[in-house]
């Protein structure tokens, strides 16, 4: 199915190239040139620079150094920096893994680490006082990263590494020096986070002198994760072996076989294997590494189906074309070349997850650990929903409707397989990792339904949502239903939970409306108002309430700890009522007060003590007391639209885009959060933002682009033009749609889908009447 | 497929009952009454008393773990006694497991331990100084064991336990006292052998208030074993929970869920779950526990297909009928009732393995850990081939030809899935445990081919055998091929290996003959003579030889340690040339000398030092220096047939049957070895024995039965009559087949298959001319 779609897309690209720009050379259409996968690899972006296909199951990326991180027996808090296995400041590479998360706030994966080396065989990764490890130094000067391609020189071994990938297969190309001691290591011990303690079981089979299969099972963030693989070498290895680091209870092998060398079955908790080669000067050894969630046979099928040849450049080019096809869905011009780089890199980052999670034959491992067949859809995993429901899935509803439909079907399959009968909270490689709060899959569903995206079964989707919303033992939900808010003395982060649940319940009501289930509309519309119950009219803040109905006494609305919020404080998170912003504004004192409140939020000075020790929040991502580096505030700059100074949204979002995003390694001011940070940038650059996913409206901000053309899957093209665009002209003077002026501060999804021409006339002075 | 066969068998039984004995009451045909599953549960028989169907995948049996055995952190050498989880001398039961090995010499399994308790919830199995564990005392007076049924009273809880089983489902029936504190424990920690260190991962899902699924993965004798299960309770539990004994690295659950109680997903290395009930006085709670090697969905399918109701007595009766059908394949009369008990118990013990190893839909886990579909056969596992090729599989070629055909197809599938491309050595739950020496699957194949059993692909079977015989890294095989014997300084147990490999190679030659592959016949017929190369003409013993061609200097032919043999000494194991006994006799000094040698073997006094510390050999199983309690000697009593005193075979086998087998708990003189010990008894009781599997001949011994009728699958009935049978009349005066006298000491397989009447005329004096 996916192959057919891809073929179709390639075909459409071809047609478009032919028809739309017959004279443009290929390079002009190459949007991949504007993508810098290194963006976010410094500081806390948590992105990886490696090779991957759009939404691909394989993320083949270097793992830097982490001398500290790999030291045995110690938990290392630095792990947080290595969610994606790479930190730009590092000077060594320990190998290349085939699974990596992009932009998450917690670590996992790092499966199937491969490392080419030369010289004496070393199986310990780290340099110690007395001995060198297999780790190698590298220089960023020798490094290239592009969509679907990564290149580096391993200085210790004089080996050039080139990596590319299809959806399910990583393709390595190593250029060796002349050697009788060339090795390719397969390290089954390496894990991102809790390094050597996470393996449940690992298994390697040497099928013949150039084919290896196996699997790894880990207990990490995903409690019961299984990754199967098949590795094909372009050249037979001359010998191989492994070292086991386990205490073996019983072993029928020992004394009867020389198991360590050239014995084709290896298994244990912690093993490292090696494959030995003779190489000529500049000899290339290639390796194709296919993954599967199902079985080694599944991995073999993927290997054979996706790369049945040894033409590295062909795969590299095809994957680049896939990227270009996806990136060229939005063609922009900008004031500065750098903005184009930032934009296309952000757009790239929005397509690194959710990831494809099925074999070429449609088999995949379900949440129940049984093998399922995806009938009528393509299965995806890695749904970091507390992050991505906000802008990433809404972005998909504009440019990847077919994929988002598949993602929703994946979400529904997850619910069916769930013993809790719950939609995913954070769907993680056939596991639920329960990360963060609320059940935002309902928002993803509602947004698609309201926007008429997809052909998934709406009735099933409603049932799944209602089922989810009634699991009483889920994270404060029973008390939320009972008390009509989450009492802080029953469940921590009670205000955040109450606000998010109320919004999610509103989403369920929207789904029910589409299905025509009035009873459910009524029930969940009522639950959607529960945010009222944590509003403290006295302090005018959302505030933690106890089970006895009184507000918690000690209350610091600036603190993110113990104040009823998670990853945010009352100033920020307290503004979270996207389902009914006008009522929230009334509740909190009216338009003028909220306008002033927002002014204060963006300009106040926040004491360092409120930033220290707060996960996911660093000084980099903060403006006053506003936090762009984390999600709960992403809608806040747009809230001016509901005040009497709506133009302040326009200047504020332009300021955020200018200061919080960039095209260099430190171009992200916080975790990219599985693409949410980048999706915010894409929408904001285009001039609008889905403040309330599940409604068909987009709040208007201020476009950063000069011109954008969005190629929609319905065949229409949406053109956005920012007239008089300049660095200073951040304000909108006038808006026309197909030449017709509108005087409102939102666009509708239908207006987008109809295509046509949106012209924003920009100015350096606000039009204070616009939208009033 | 298996279901169809069973239905057919039941139908045939019905027809036969109708036709042959229309007036016999059911009880007369009930051969299960003669079976005592307790036989071998004392001392070293290593059998289990629990409920199982013939060759069933579920072996549901009590675990009488002694306190010592479960103590944490200690390896306990007593484990050896608990290969089947039960020792008759014990007074406590710790629970009932669903997988158990019968009669093996090494321990594993003990999966899915269930224990009903009453009163305070206790999750620790053992009583300690301060606290009671969940273990209960029991008395053999309250215990019943029959084919397919086991019953016991748990005295500490006043709970009656009844167990039965279909092929894939264990059926429990617990009669509780009145209680508000009744529990059923599901202990995922319990393992036979290396108790709390063997789990790789365990997982439990509470699907609803009466259905639980899950799996366990262990690293034991089978290095990578996975057992999936589905448990259906007849009554909803009122609450449930679990305790985890692991150090948890990351847990998204804690602080957000009360995971320990009523949370439907449990996972970890070591967890114990419990389910709580209210019960009335004498209330029965039933439980159906289905297994699968594939998945929890597979287990659910098995559950629904095999027991779609709650009628315990129906299942008990049907399984009893299945047993009776199998047991009644050989109908005997004996001098003593006890002999009948011994015989049918032995026959029962020959049908406890290999076990069925596929789901009702034909899916099974293969050696490569991928899921396969058994096309055209039923898949089996637990092939303890070094034991069972001798007499168990030959017995199957008489009474279970269709099953043996399936078993050979299973063996061939194993070879196909093997990364070594080897036939199984010891096929163990989708694993190869490499136990013992040689590659005796070739014997199983040759024996079937020569006896025209089965429709498996002979050419494939030959290829698989030849492939196996050329894996140079296998346990001395490379050196065996190079030196034409296994040098003791290259590989231990070198003489045993040389002798067994030479025999196995002869078997390959027999397969090649049937296939018509002359080149292979010639090659392997040559290898079949390599036994010559370890014969020391000076000492007249098979003797360990070094790589330099000289015999190892220090040599004690009575010792089983370091003398080139395994589980045997030169006196016994040195007689192992079944493929060419006449040549062996010549080599060793001729008929007379061998006759004297055998006399000495059976009558000499063996010093205790030779018995101590020898696994699988105890004083119980020894006659002089002859060991019945272990396999390498099983053909030896029949070797007199090749001497000038053949009648001594007759008295000796009768003596062995009389003294080494019985119908009480200590009725086995050593491990039953997956049915081999019992198969020896069945053949010997009938008057003949397959000294050379892979030939079509059976050496004649001395029948123990008075009369036997064997119902063959070809429709024929073979009648064996021992005229003038008595305790003293152990010698054969005369043999007739269908009235025609024969003067030879063997029967052919065709003679057996043709049916007809074999009359042995017995006497208290030997007919010294018989067969001469």
- Residues of A within 8 A of B194 (CB-CB) are 249-250
Residues forming beta bridges with residue B151, ordered by sequence position: B144, B162
pLDDT (tens digit per residue) in A133-158: 999 999 999 999 999 999 999 999 99
* Judgement on whether residues B551 and B666 belong to the same structural domain of the protein: yes
DSSP codes joined into one string, B44-73: T-----SEE-TT-S-EEEEE---HHHH-TT
Within-domain flag for B559: yes
pLDDT (tens digit per residue) in A202-225: 999 999 999 999 999 999 899 999
- Residues of B within 8 A of A220 (CB-CB) are 249-250
- Residues of A within 8 A of B249 (CB-CB) are 194, 197-198, 219-220
Say yes or no: A74 contacts chain B, CB-CB below 8 A.
no
State the smallest CA–CA distance between residue B434 and chain A in angstroms: 6
Contact (CB<8Å) B201/A198: no
- Residues of B within 8 A of A213 (CB-CB) are 368
Residue after which a domain boundary falls, among A326, A345, A360 = A326
Contact (CB<8Å) A420/B205: no
Q: Supply the pLDDT for residue A77.
A: 55
Residue A112: both structure tokens together: 């199937």
Q: Supply the pLDDT for residue B79.
A: 73
Contact (CB<8Å) A368/B263: no
pLDDT (tens digit per residue) in B256-279: 777 899 999 999 999 999 999 999
Interface of B with A in 252-271 (CB under 8 A): 252-253, 255-258, 262-265, 267-268
Print the SS3 string covering B240-257: EEEEECCCCCCCCCECCE
Within-domain flag for A771: no
Nearest to B195 by CA among B47, B95, B56, B293: B95
Query: For residue B436, what is the nearest residue in chain A, using CA coordinates?
Result: A252
- Cα radius of gyration (chain A): 26
* Judgement on whether residues B125 and B62 belong to the same structural domain of the protein: yes
Interface of A with B in 329-388 (CB under 8 A): 368-371
Q: Supply the pLDDT for residue B128.
A: 82
State the smallest CA–CA distance between residue B252 and chain A in angstroms: 6
Interface of B with A in 86-105 (CB under 8 A): none
A615 falls in which pLDDT band (50, 70, 90)?
Answer: low
* Judgement on whether residues B300 and B339 belong to the same structural domain of the protein: no
Within-domain flag for B770: no
Contact (CB<8Å) A257/B434: yes
Within-domain flag for B250: yes
Spell A48-76 as b/e; 16+ CB within 10 A means b. bbbbbbbbbbbbbbbbbbbbebbeeeeeb
* Judgement on whether residues B577 and B467 belong to the same structural domain of the protein: yes
* Judgement on whether residues B319 and B361 belong to the same structural domain of the protein: no
* Judgement on whether residues A392 and A296 belong to the same structural domain of the protein: no
* Judgement on whether residues B67 and B164 belong to the same structural domain of the protein: yes
With a CB cutoff of 8 Å and minimum separation 6, the contacts of A526 are none
Within-domain flag for B621: yes
- Residues of B within 8 A of A77 (CB-CB) are none
How many beta carbons lie within 10 A of that of residue A717, not counting itself?
14
Q: Strand, helix or coil at A390?
A: coil
* Angle CA A64–A68–A70, to nearest 5: 70
Say yes or no: B217 contacts chain A, CB-CB below 8 A.
yes
* Judgement on whether residues A212 and A114 belong to the same structural domain of the protein: yes
Give the whole-angstrom CA distance, residue A470 versus residue A604: 40
Residue after which a domain boundary falls, among A308, A326, A344 = A326
Q: Supply the pLDDT for residue A3.
A: 52
Say yes or no: B719 contacts chain A, CB-CB below 8 A.
no
Within-domain flag for A770: no
Domain span at residue A736? 329-763
| CA B382 centroid distance within chain | 8
* Judgement on whether residues A595 and A694 belong to the same structural domain of the protein: yes
Residue A428: both structure tokens together: 């993680």
Q: Supply the pLDDT for residue B734.
A: 97
CATH of the domain at A82: 2.70.98.10
* Judgement on whether residues A391 and A301 belong to the same structural domain of the protein: no
Contact (CB<8Å) B220/A249: yes
Q: Supply the pLDDT for residue A20.
A: 41
Interface of B with A in 481-510 (CB under 8 A): 492
Residues forming beta bridges with residue B276, ordered by sequence position: B183, B239
* Judgement on whether residues A311 and A377 belong to the same structural domain of the protein: no
Give the whole-angstrom CA distance, residue A305 versus residue B157: 60
A654 has pLDDT over 90: yes
Say yes or no: B467 contacts chain A, CB-CB below 8 A.
no
Residue after which a domain boundary falls, among B266, B301, B325 = B325
pLDDT (tens digit per residue) in A253-284: 656 777 899 999 999 999 999 999 999 999 99
Query: For residue A75, what is the nearest residue in chain B, using CA coordinates?
Result: B249
DSSP codes joined into one string, A485-519: S--TTTSSSHHHHHHHHHHHHHHHHHHHHHHT-HH
Residue A495 near residue A544, CB atoms below 8 Å: yes
CATH of the domain at A623: 3.30.2080.10
**CB contacts < 8 Å between A and B, how many?**
111
Within-domain flag for B189: yes
Residue B45 near residue B681, CB atoms below 8 Å: no
Contact (CB<8Å) A434/B220: no
Give the whole-angstrom CA distance, residue A114 versus residue A184: 7
> For B473, which of A252, A258, A368 is closest by C-beta distance?
A258
Contact (CB<8Å) B296/A368: yes
- Residues of A within 8 A of B198 (CB-CB) are 249
Q: Supply the pLDDT for residue A67.
A: 57
A1 has pLDDT over 50: no
Give the whole-angstrom CA distance, residue B741 versus residue B758: 10
Q: Supply the pLDDT for residue A258.
A: 78
* Judgement on whether residues B375 and B486 belong to the same structural domain of the protein: yes
Q: What is the DSSP letter of A746?
A: E
Give the whole-angstrom CA distance, residue A587 versus residue B643: 109
Q: Which of A249, A271, A363 to mutate to test the interface with B (most CBs of B within 10 A)?
A: A249
Residues of chain B with pLDDT below 50 are: 1, 6-27, 73, 75
Q: Supply the pLDDT for residue B69.
A: 56
Interface of B with A in 290-319 (CB under 8 A): 295-297
Q: Supply the pLDDT for residue A72.
A: 52
Query: For residue A108, what is the nearest residue in chain B, using CA coordinates?
Result: B250
Say yes or no: A224 contacts chain B, CB-CB below 8 A.
yes
Q: Supply the pLDDT for residue B247.
A: 77
Give the whole-angstrom CA distance, residue A588 versus residue B299: 57
Instruction: Tell me the pairing of strands A159-165 and A169-176.
Output: antiparallel
Read off the pLDDT of each residue in A461-482 and give the average, rounded to a whole number: 97
State the smallest CA–CA distance between residue A356 and chain B in angstroms: 22
Residue A435 near residue A382, CB atoms below 8 Å: no
- Residues of A within 8 A of B474 (CB-CB) are 257
Angle between helix axes A676-686 and A647-660 (nearest 10 degrees) is 130
Q: Please count the structural domains in chain A.
A: 2
Spell A562-572 as b/e; 16+ CB within 10 A means b. ebbbbbbbbbb
Query: For residue A194, what is the nearest residue in chain B, using CA coordinates?
Result: B249
């Amino acid at each position: 199915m996916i192959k057919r779609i891809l073929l179709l897309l390639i075909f459409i690209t071809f047609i478009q190239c032919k028809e739309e720009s017959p004279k443009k050379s290929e390079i002009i259409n190459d949007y991949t040139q504007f993508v810098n996968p290194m963006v976010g690899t410094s500081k806390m972006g948590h992105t990886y620079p490696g090779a991957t296909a759009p939404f691909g199951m394989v993320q083949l990326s270097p793992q830097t150094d982490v001398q500290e991180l790999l030291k045995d027996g110690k938990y290392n808090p630095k792990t947080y920096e290595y969610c994606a296995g790479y930190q730009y400041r590092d000077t060594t590479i320990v190998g290349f893994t085939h699974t990596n998360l992009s932009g998450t706030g917690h670590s996992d994966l790092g499966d199937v680490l491969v490392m080419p080396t030369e010289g004496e065989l070393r199986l310990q990764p780290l340099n110690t006082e007395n001995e060198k490890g297999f780790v190698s130094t590298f220089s960023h000067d020798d490094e290239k990263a592009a969509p679907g391609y990564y290149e580096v020189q391993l200085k210790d071994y004089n080996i050039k590494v080139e990596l590319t990938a299809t959806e399910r297969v990583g393709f390595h190309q190593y250029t060796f020096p002349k050697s009788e001691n060339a090795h390719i290591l397969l390290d089954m011990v390496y894990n991102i986070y809790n390094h050597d303690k996470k393996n449940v079981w690992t298994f390697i089979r040497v099928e013949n002198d150039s084919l290896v299969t196996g699997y790894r099972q880990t207990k990490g963030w995903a409690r019961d994760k299984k990754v199967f693989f098949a590795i094909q070498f372009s050249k037979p290895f001359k010998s191989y072996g492994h070292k086991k680091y386990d205490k073996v209870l019983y072993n029928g092998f020992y004394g009867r076989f020389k198991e360590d060398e050239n014995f084709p079955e290896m298994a244990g908790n912690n093993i490292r294997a090696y494959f030995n080669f003779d190489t000529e000067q500049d000899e290339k050894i290639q390796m194709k590494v296919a993954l599967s969630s199902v079985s080694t046979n599944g991995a073999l099928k993927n290997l054979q189906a996706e790369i049945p040849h040894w033409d590295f450049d062909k795969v590299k080019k095809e994957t680049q074309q896939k990227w270009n096809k996806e990136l060229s869905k939005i063609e922009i011009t900008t004031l500065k070349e750098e903005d184009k780089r930032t934009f296309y890199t952000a757009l790239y980052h929005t397509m690194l997850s959710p990831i494809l999670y099925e074999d070429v034959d449609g088999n995949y491992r379900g949440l129940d650990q049984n093998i399922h067949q995806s009938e009528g859809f393509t299965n995806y995993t890695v749904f970091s929903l507390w992050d991505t429901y906000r802008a990433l899935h809404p972005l998909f509803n504009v440019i990847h409707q077919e994929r988002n439909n598949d993602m929703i079907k994946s979400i529904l399959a997850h619910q069916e397989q769930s013993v809790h009968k719950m939609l995913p909270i954070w769907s993680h490689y056939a596991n639920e990792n329960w990360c963060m709060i609320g059940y935002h899959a309902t928002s993803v569903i509602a947004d698609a339904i309201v926007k008429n995206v997809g052909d998934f079964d709406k009735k099933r989707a409603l049932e799944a949502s209602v089922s989810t919303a009634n699991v009483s033992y889920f994270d404060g939900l029973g008390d939320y239903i009972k008390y009509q808010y989450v009492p802080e003395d029953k469940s921590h982060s009670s205000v955040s939970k109450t606000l998010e649940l109320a919004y999610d319940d509103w989403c369920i009501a929207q789904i029910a409306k589409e299905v025509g289930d009035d009873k459910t509309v009524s029930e969940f519309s009522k639950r959607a108002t529960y945010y009222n119950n944590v509003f403290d009219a006295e302090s005018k803040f959302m505030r933690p309430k106890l089970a006895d109905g009184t507000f918690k006494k000690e209350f610091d609305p600036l603190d993110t700890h113990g104040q009823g919020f998670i990853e945010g404080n009352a100033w920020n998170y307290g503004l979270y009522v996207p389902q009914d912003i006008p009522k929230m504004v009334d509740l909190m004192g009216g338009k003028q007060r909220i306008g002033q409140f927002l002014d204060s939020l963006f300009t106040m000075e926040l004491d360092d003590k409120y930033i220290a020790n707060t996960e996911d929040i660093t000084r980099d991502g903060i403006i006053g007391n506003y936090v762009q580096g984390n999600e709960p505030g992403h809608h806040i700059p747009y809230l001016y639209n509901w005040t009497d100074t709506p133009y302040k949204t326009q200047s504020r979002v332009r300021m955020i885009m200018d200061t919080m995003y960039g095209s260099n390694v430190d171009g992200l001011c916080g975790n990219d959060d599985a693409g949410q940070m980048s999706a915010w940038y894409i929408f904001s650059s285009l001039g609008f933002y889905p403040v309330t996913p599940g409604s068909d409206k987009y709040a208007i901000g201020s476009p950063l682009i000069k011109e954008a053309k969005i190629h929609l899957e319905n065949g229409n093209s949406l053109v956005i033009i920012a007239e008089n665009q300049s660095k200073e002209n951040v304000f909108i003077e006038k808006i026309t749609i197909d030449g017709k002026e509108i005087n409102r501060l939102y666009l509708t999804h239908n207006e987008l889908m109809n295509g046509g021409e949106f012209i924003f006339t920009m100015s350096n002075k606000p039009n204070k009447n616009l939208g009033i």
